Amino acid sequence: MTVPIAIIGAGPAGITAAVQLRRSGIEFLLLEKSRAGGLLNEANCVENFPGVPGGVAGRLLATRLKRQLAAAGIQIKKARVTHLAYDDRRFTLCTERETLTAARVILACGTVPLPPGPPLDTENLRGRLFAGVLPLLKARGETIAIIGGGDAACDYALSLVGNNEVHILVRSRRPRALPLLVDRCRRLGVVWHENFRLTRAEVLAGEAGMVLHARDAHGEDTGGILCQRLLTAIGREPALGFLAPELRAALPELAARKAVFLAGDVGNGGFRQAAIAAAGGLRAAMEIHEGGSRCT
């Protein structure tokens, strides 16, 4: 199967690109490996998206984007791209079930969490250590610790604190999150631990959970925190692990030639906002329309 445009990822960037391409009369294929809406599904509240005064729950905004796709007659192909290569003016996309080719690709595949690393042992903490908030949204009456001091850590805490006791563990002297998010967390009872340098996660028997041991900036033992779940919010990196090495090296050149587009979080570094992602998807689609979209 050959398509003019393949869009990998149906978050705000991919969905916006798809809607604009449909408006332009350009054929495309929109692929998504899991939930449409991307990280919006994990966002407690999106307060800076145009046209939504007062903010909107991320999952609700994701639902609205999916409705917009349906209204435009756009279907999502549920598929995980496992390999993407470029050769002889064509992109080859391998999924778990088939191989596709495309003249151009919009990479709207977002980001993945950074692995926690030592002293956390992911195998020993299996079932207790998480890198996203979705698996914990049904938790009730638990003590949940979140590692990280950025906006994501605060957003996760705000999603969980209504039904659980939540602690945020920050290595530095103060969190780097927006002050309004920090204040909101404090008002709702989130417990902050600053200068918290984790040294060991001691798993207890049965359902007792684990004890997080740490030292402060002076090397002094801060005592232990007992919790049932541990959630990391220590950063993210572009989800480009499926790119062939040759394609990864050629990305700048192919982007300059308008053959590949990095739209949304995958190309925006730390500027991970739904409005920015949507704008990137819109621009990619408009540049494709301006430059022509035929498979050549």
**pLDDT at 208 (0 to 100):** 78
Domains and CATH numbers, the chain: 2-113+236-291 (3.50.50.60), 129-232 (3.50.50.60)
Task: Give the CA distances from residue 264 to residues 76, 107, 141, 167, 272, in Å, rounded to whole numbers and listed in that order.
Answer: 18, 8, 36, 30, 8
- Confidence bin at 296 (pLDDT 50/70/90): very low
Q: For 249-285, write each residue's pLDDT tens digit.
A: 999 999 999 999 999 999 999 999 999 999 999 999 9
pTM over 0.85: yes
Q: For 193-250, write each residue's pLDDT tens digit.
A: 999 999 999 999 877 799 999 998 888 888 899 999 999 999 999 999 999 999 999 9
Judging by beta carbons within 10 Å of its beta carbon (0-12, 13-18, 19+), is residue 32 exposed, middle or buried? buried
- Are the beta carbons of 9 and 109 closer than 8 angstroms? yes
**pLDDT at 292 (0 to 100):** 66
Across 37-64, average pLDDT: 95
Given a cut of 80, whether residue 294 has pLDDT beyond it is: no
**pLDDT at 291 (0 to 100):** 82
The single residue listed with the structure tokens 């604190």 is: 161
Q: For 111-166, write each residue's pLDDT tens digit.
A: 999 999 999 999 999 999 999 999 999 999 999 999 999 999 999 999 999 999 99
